[in-house]
Amino acid sequence: MSRIAFASRVMACAAGIVLLAVCGGPAVAEDDSREIGLEFDVSRSAPELNAAFRPQQGWIGGDGAQSVDLGNGSTLWLFGDTWVGALKDGRRTKARIVHNSAAVQCRADGPCDFVIRENDKGKPVDLISPLDGRGWFWFQAGTMLNGRLYLFMSQVGDAVDPKRPDHSPLGQWLAIVENPLDDPRDWCIEQVKVPFSLYTRRRDLTFGSGVVIEGKYLYVYGIDDASRLQSQDRHLVLARVPLDRVAEMSEWRFLSRGRWTRDFFRPDKIADYMAGDISIAHMPGLNRYLMVYTDCDVSNRIVARTAPSPRGPWSNIEILHTCRDAAADSKLFCYAGKAHPTLSSDGELVLSYLTSSIDTWQVATDARLYWPTFVTVGVRDAHPPESVGEVAKVVPATNGAAAE
């Protein structure tokens, strides 16, 4: 999503929080019966990872920062709008923006090989462009499946609707990469149109924000977004498709009224107060599905929710990290919070987020902005199996009162 789009999200989010505060209500839904079930330590900076994502030339910043396990110990990084150029005296120089790029990290503690495609004139261009020639792609979630990479992409173009001053959505696509372990510039890609999207002045409905595999199905998460009408009206929805039929759109089914149906227009809203940019993954050591995102799309809070299965029920949120980067400047904002399981362990979760500005010139002249910033947070099960059935310790009674 563009910086202008996020600027509008900042205003909408702020308005929603103010309204909730005036009404005496919380910014998130409260339900004590839906505890997250995890305990988190105070977050810490990850200087080694941050250093790996600060090259001095070529790729010099990108947003999104979606990670995909390539299955060979490597991590594929997918970025949206990307600066290409060089850094000099803390500024981006001779720089231009492409709409998507990638990087490959061969081990969790290793350097990244950033990938920028060039045209026949040596100019940077998008790594993947729409075959129909319309607009550009922003990467969403991806997964490896039977040796192929399945990558969801949002197709957008220049603004034509005054109610969408930043860009106009054109559709959703699925890229199927036959040779994902090769250099991304050499990928053999099939582009398949995903017809399950809706864009109106009242509502956007899309699928591809997150994916997980369970059993014989790929579960594809989407966002049902009516936030232009009400700032917090953004919900998580869910589709599934057999693992061997992912590209066959007739095989997709949508969770609607508690059943798997062909009806994608009326999906069940399985989580509320959502962001459009999320990460979802199964954490085997914690025996949970973990969803991480920036609260309200744009804020200083990176939050988590858990669920026992892909369809939920999803817990209330827990704050993982509070970003301080934007506190001193009203033009700055934090967004794109995600977790990265390939870099994480059972006891430590790796998170990233970005800090940008509504002023593009400020991003160009301040090279501290527009990089994935990494932090780690310790995580553990609040109710480990060995604690179940433990005999409670008896506290001696005092002053004649019965022990509780």
Q: What average pLDDT score do residues 5-23 get?
A: 43
159 within domain boundaries: yes
Q: What average pLDDT score do residues 387-397 get?
A: 40
Q: Taking the model in full, what pTM does it have?
A: 0.88
186 within domain boundaries: yes
391 within domain boundaries: no
Confidence at residue 277, expressed as pLDDT on a 0 to 100 scale: 95
User: Please, is 348 exposed, middle or buried when counting C-beta atoms within 10 Å of its C-beta (0-12, 13-18, 19+)?
Assistant: middle
| Residue 403 clears pLDDT 90, i.e. is over it | no
Question: 363 or 30: whose pLDDT is higher?
Answer: 363
Write the pLDDT tens digit of every residue in 292-328.
999 999 999 999 999 999 999 999 999 999 999 999 8
User: Please, is 32 exposed, middle or buried when counting C-beta atoms within 10 Å of its C-beta (0-12, 13-18, 19+)?
Assistant: exposed
- Exposure b/e, 204-241, CB count within 10 A at least 16 = b: bbbbbbbbbeeeebbbbbbbbbebbeebbbbbbbbbbb
Range of the domain at 118: 3-384
Q: To the nearest whole number, what is the mean pLDDT of the chain?
A: 88
Does the N-terminal peptide bond of residue 372 adopt cis geometry, omega within 30 degrees of 0? no
User: E-assigned strands of 146-197?
Assistant: 148-157, 168-177, 189-194
Report percent pLDDT > 90 for the chain.
76
Confidence at residue 158, expressed as pLDDT on a 0 to 100 scale: 85
Find out whether 124 and 134 touch, Cβ atoms under 8 Å.
no
400 within domain boundaries: no
Question: 160 or 191: whose pLDDT is higher?
Answer: 191
What's the domain count of the chain? 1
247 within domain boundaries: yes
Q: Any bridge partners for residue 377, and if so which? A: 349
CATH assignment at residue 376: 2.115.10.20
Q: Any bridge partners for residue 83, and if so which? A: 97
125 within domain boundaries: yes
145 within domain boundaries: yes
Write the pLDDT tens digit of every residue in 194-246.
999 999 988 999 999 999 999 999 999 999 998 776 667 899 999 999 999 99
Q: How far apart are CA 86 and CA 371, in angstroms?
A: 14
Write the pLDDT tens digit of every residue in 346-378.
799 999 999 999 999 999 999 999 999 999 999
397 within domain boundaries: no
Nearest-5° Cα angle at 389, 383 to 394: 100
Confidence at residue 383, expressed as pLDDT on a 0 to 100 scale: 81
Q: How far apart are CA 238 and CA 106, in angstroms?
A: 32
Q: How far apart are CA 139 and CA 334, in angstroms?
A: 19
Task: Answer left, alpha or beta for residue 71, where phi above 0 means left and psi between -120 and 50 means alpha.
Answer: left
